Chains A and B, each alone.
Chain A
Amino acid sequence: QKEVEQDPGPLSVPEGAIVSLNCTYSNSAFQYFMWYRQYSRKGPELLMYTYSSGNKEDGRFTAQVDKSSKYISLFIRDSQPSDSATYLCAMSVVDTGFQKLVFGTGTRLLVSP
């Protein structure tokens, strides 16, 4: 079983739709939970991060963490064609003294005009 599971998609939605992206994880030692956006042939850029269970909002983006279920989500409201990208969830863990990131496979999102 992978430490982090994420549906690779693609997920196709019309412009203006609400998008829900999800990841599940198995390692209780994960401390921080992040969402990255990656455009084609580019490096990932950090969108949001959370630490505790609950919701965190930033503009059109809402990150949700449920530690009891080991489930995290990213919601995008009023989606735009410019949101079309791959969204990766990532989780941090301390391993052999270093803090490392473990990524999901990424979900490819396509927002059509």
Chain B
Amino acid sequence: GAVVSQHPSRVICKSGTSVKIECRSLDFQATTMFWYRQFPKKSLMLMATSNEGSKATYEQGVEKDKFLINHASLTLSTLTVTSAHPEDSSFYICSARAPGLAGARTFYNEQFFGPGTRLTVL
């Protein structure tokens, strides 16, 4: 249980195009989803927190208009990188949280992570 998937796993695009990444909770309903970004040999940096049906809360320094997040249902959140540039190349990871999920270690509302999406902008 508590499986999170991401699609696509890798994407290569040209500079100036937009890319959409999907994050799905496969066997539970996620009230909250998180989007992280990870550079090589760097830590995961939280980009934004999204609750189903409401606007995402972005971390300081993250451009809202560039990284569009939609959490339209309890099982799906999308991250769209608009007008991508080479500096946006990174590993993007989502996570989902479901308080009260059977078997989850809800001591801190455990987050379940997806496998990540490698974005390369040429």
Q: Which residues of A contact B (CB under 8 A)?
A: 4, 6, 8, 31-32, 41-46, 49, 51, 88, 92, 96, 98-106
A46 touches B110 (CB 8 A): yes
- Per-residue CB contact flags for chain B residues 66-94 toward chain A (1 = under 8 Å, else 0) read 00000000000000000000000001010
A105 touches B41 (CB 8 A): yes
How many Å lie between the Cα of A88 and that of B41 in the bound state?
A: 11
- Per-residue CB contact flags for chain B residues 29-48 toward chain A (1 = under 8 Å, else 0) read 00010100000011111100
State the majority secondary structure of interface residues on A.
strand
Q: Which residues of B contact A (CB under 8 A)?
A: 4, 6, 32, 34, 41-46, 49, 57, 91, 93, 95, 105, 107-111, 113-116, 118
State the majority secondary structure of interface residues on B.
strand
A43 touches B115 (CB 8 A): yes
For A6, list chain B residues within 8 Å (CB). 43
| Smallest beta-carbon distance A60→chain B, Å | 19
| Smallest beta-carbon distance B71→chain A, Å | 14
For A88, list chain B residues within 8 Å (CB). 43-44
